[in-house]
């Protein structure tokens, strides 16, 4: 009975974490469309929510497998309190950053929470550090960290290059073209949301699969119910939009207009879809923010909000260690006794 309750707790926390991911990273996904007035906030959250669900249902399993590979903990019930500690830490960090209106990374928070909880419960022996000879064959924590820290760099370059391309392509266009570009943004926003839905919910799916395996269930494929549940939680999270994050990403880093917003959405979608196909668990808020910086640098770098960029970089650097310490403390103070009850 205790094991069943712990499993249910992990599954519910995964869904709640996905919800917090939705209002955190989902606000960044909506930011360009809302800031450029291609969509109203209501249109954006409804459209993005549906596309996010589609990404969760049809986006593959590569990212979930990468998240499962972080740990070598045996498939036994004593893993469940560790996962509860990791999820509680990540959720807490997401609410802290929402409160201070900072576009932090839910992915960083989850990875930090997992590493901190694993260390608290068994030291480093159950952390699969992995390795890499190239970006394509990386494994374990190395793969996750490489994806997290390389994706903003790739996002910056993609945002810069895509905007330059669009400026050259439309150099003879009149202001009337903005009307057509705003319609095109419905497509790019949809692809971006699908890419986000194909990447971020899979992180929760990976944790759910670890929990299901820990109770003795031998599952090869992710159940449809898990996909639908995480996709629905992500969509509901998007509906709980955080206006402060939308403003920071779409106005205060760089004031996005139609062409800039189209470049940001296109570049971000490319990076997110690439991460999903290769199994790289990347942070949507990081990628989108870095493409905004890249597009702004290509257009008018002096108008970039460098103080906001600085604050975001600080948050990105602090998230993994802070969530790891939080998970370590939560396990020691609140959840360690659960392993003795199993």
Q: Is pLDDT of 100 > 80? A: no
- For residue 231, the model assigns a pLDDT of 96
pLDDT in tens, 192-244: 999 999 999 999 999 999 999 999 888 889 999 999 999 999 999 999 887 88
pLDDT of residue 103: 59
Rounded distance, CA 26 to CA 273, Å? 16
Query: In this structure, what DSSP letter does residue 37 have?
Result: T
44-58 CB burial, b ≥16 within 10 A, e <16: bbebbbbbbbbbbbe
- pLDDT band (50, 70, 90) for residue 101: low
Cα separation, 159 vs 175, whole angstroms: 22
Residue 34 vs residue 308, higher pLDDT:
34
Q: How far apart are CA 81 and CA 244, in angstroms?
A: 34
Domain ranges of the chain: 2-123+136-341
**Non-local CB neighbours of 120 within 8 Å, separated by 6+ positions:** 82, 85, 327, 328, 331, 332, 336
Classify residue 78 by burial, with Cβ atoms within 10 Å: 0-12, 13-18, 19+: middle
Please report the pLDDT score of residue 46 as a whole number: 95
Extract the tokens encoding 90: 């990540």
Which residue from 223, 230, 222 is spatially nearest to 55, judged by alpha carbons?
Answer: 230
Q: What is the pLDDT of residues 44-69, one digit of tens each?
A: 999 999 999 999 999 999 999 999 99
Q: Which tens digit of pLDDT belongs to each residue from 316-328? A: 788 899 999 999 9
Predicted TM-score (pTM) of the model is 0.91
Q: What are phi and psi of 96, to 5 degrees?
A: -60, -45
Question: Does residue 342 carry a pLDDT above 90?
Answer: no
pLDDT computed for residue 210 by the predictor: 96
**Cβ proximity of 115 and 74 under 8 Å:** no
Q: What percent of the chain has pLDDT over 70?
A: 98
* Residue given tokens 């494929």 in the structure block: 221
For residue 221, the 8-state DSSP code is: S
pLDDT attached to residue 13: 97
Question: In sequence order, what are the beta bridge partners of 71?
Answer: 127
Whether 308 and 133 have beta carbons less than 8 Å apart is answered as no
Give the number of other Cβ atoms within 10 Å of residue 298's Cβ.
20
């Amino acid at each position: 009975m205790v094991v069943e309750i712990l499993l249910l707790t992990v599954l519910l926390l995964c869904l709640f974490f996905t919800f917090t991911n939705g209002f955190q990273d989902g606000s960044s996904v909506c930011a360009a469309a809302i800031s450029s007035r291609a969509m109203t906030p209501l249109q954006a959250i409804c459209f993005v929510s549906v596309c996010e669900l589609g990404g969760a249902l049809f986006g593959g399993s590569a990212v979930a497998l990468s998240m499962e590979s972080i740990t070598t903990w045996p498939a036994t019930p004593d893993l469940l309190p560790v996962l509860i500690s990791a999820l509680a830490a990540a959720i807490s960090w997401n609410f802290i950053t929402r409160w201070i209106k900072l576009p932090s990374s839910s992915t960083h928070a989850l990875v930090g929470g997992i590493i901190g909880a694993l260390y608290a419960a068994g030291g480093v022996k159950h952390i699969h550090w992995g390795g890499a000879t190239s970006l394509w064959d990386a494994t374990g924590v190395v793969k996750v960290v490489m994806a997290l820290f390389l994706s903003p760099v790739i996002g910056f370059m993609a945002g810069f290059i895509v905007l330059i391309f669009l400026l050259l392509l439309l150099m003879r266009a009149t202001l009337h073209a903005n009307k057509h570009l705003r319609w095109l943004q419905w497509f790019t926003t949809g692809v971006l949301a699908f890419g986000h839905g194909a990447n971020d919910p899979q992180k929760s799916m990976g944790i759910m699969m670890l929990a299901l395996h820990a109770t003795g269930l031998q599952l090869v494929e992710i159940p449809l119910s898990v996909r639908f549940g995480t996709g629905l939680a992500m969509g509901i999270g998007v509906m709980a939009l955080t206006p402060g994050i939308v403003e920071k990403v779409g106005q205060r880093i760089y004031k996005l207009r139609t062409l800039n917003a189209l470049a940001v959405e296109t570049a971000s979608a490319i990076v997110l879809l690439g991460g999903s196909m290769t199994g790289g668990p990347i942070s949507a808020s990081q990628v989108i923010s870095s493409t905004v910086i890249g597009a702004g640098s290509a257009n008018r770098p002096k108008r970039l909000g460098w103080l906001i960029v600085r604050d975001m970089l600080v948050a990105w650097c602090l998230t993994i260690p802070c969530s790891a310490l939080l998970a370590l403390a939560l396990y020691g103070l609140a959840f360690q006794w659960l392993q003795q009850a199993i």
